[in-house]
Amino acid sequence: MPAVCKVRLCHVQDILLHATLQKTLSPGDNLSSSSKQVEYHFTAKQDVQVCSMVTTEKFLITGMVGEIVGWNWKSIKSSTNPRLDWEIQIPTPKDALEKPDVNSLIFDKTKGLLYAGCGDDKIYVFNLESRQLLRTMEGHEDFVHCLHNLGNILASASEDGLVKLWDLRQKEPTKSIQPHLKQEVARPALGKWVGTVALSEDWLLCGGGPRLSLWHLRTLDVTTAFNLDDNGIHVAMFYDDRVMAGGASPHFYHLNYSGDVYAQVPSSSTTIYSAVYQELPHKV
């Protein structure tokens, strides 16, 4: 049974949740008309953009401008205007001219921790149950685009062209790579920014201005530079022993580690910024 997927499509303050990536995971399957329809649609906050999302068994959590907000899934499923359950404010200096976007959210279920990568170049760690700020991680020199964690390792991708690896038992990042400095990956015309990063037991996947690329996690050597039809990669992830990726491209891709394309799904949008697959707790 293929995973039923969730795609985030955000237009200013609207949230649309629906299943459309099933075709990517199982290219031979035909989608029913009902699977193409939006299942839940509601306005998050008036005139405030939605920058990121993550889900837990109880909450749909969205990163916005200067804050993180949570909705109870029961409320979302039972109402067209679900009630906001809680809010977390991102620390902002009093003299700041604007609040930072919350560009990336990940939830560590085993530790109950919520990580937020933000437009002020920082990563914030919150206890989700208490909503208390536990730690502020600094090291990037431009805004953080993406976070991904695996056990005690956190990876962060930034506009500064760096992918940093953090051992969460230590205060400082332990390793970093600069994809734009690798000839087989660099695309100077698109810039050095890194828009996405993902980890597996042995591999690191990243892309942005530089090509989508697969790196050996222990040696940090490039193994594969993917030759895709894109003008920037914004989302990439591992699925079983394969890779899924999209961005400023007419397609969402499903590939093997060597770069062979298993499926390319046409996109109605000019750019894909976020895609999440899951089977539980809700098929959305």
Whether 35 has a pLDDT exceeding 50, the answer reads no
Residue 26 has pLDDT above 80, yes or no: no
24 phi and psi angles, rounded to 5 deg: -70, -40
pLDDT-derived band of residue 44, with 50, 70 and 90 as boundaries?
confident
Task: Delimit the domains of the chain by residue range.
Answer: 139-276
According to the model, what pLDDT value does residue 14 have?
52
Output b/e per residue, 166-187; b: 16+ Cβ within 10 A. Answer: bebeeeebeebbebbebeebbb
pTM: 0.84
Query: Which residues have a Cβ under 8 Å from the Cβ of 8 and sit 6 or more positions away?
Result: 15, 16, 17, 50, 53, 273, 274, 275, 276
Fold classification of 139-276 (topology level): Methylamine Dehydrogenase; Chain H (2.130.10)
Q: What is the pLDDT of residue 22?
A: 44
Greater confidence, 244 or 77? 244
Q: Give the H/E segment covering residue 22.
A: helix 22-25
pLDDT band at 7 (very low <50, low <70, confident <90, very high): very low
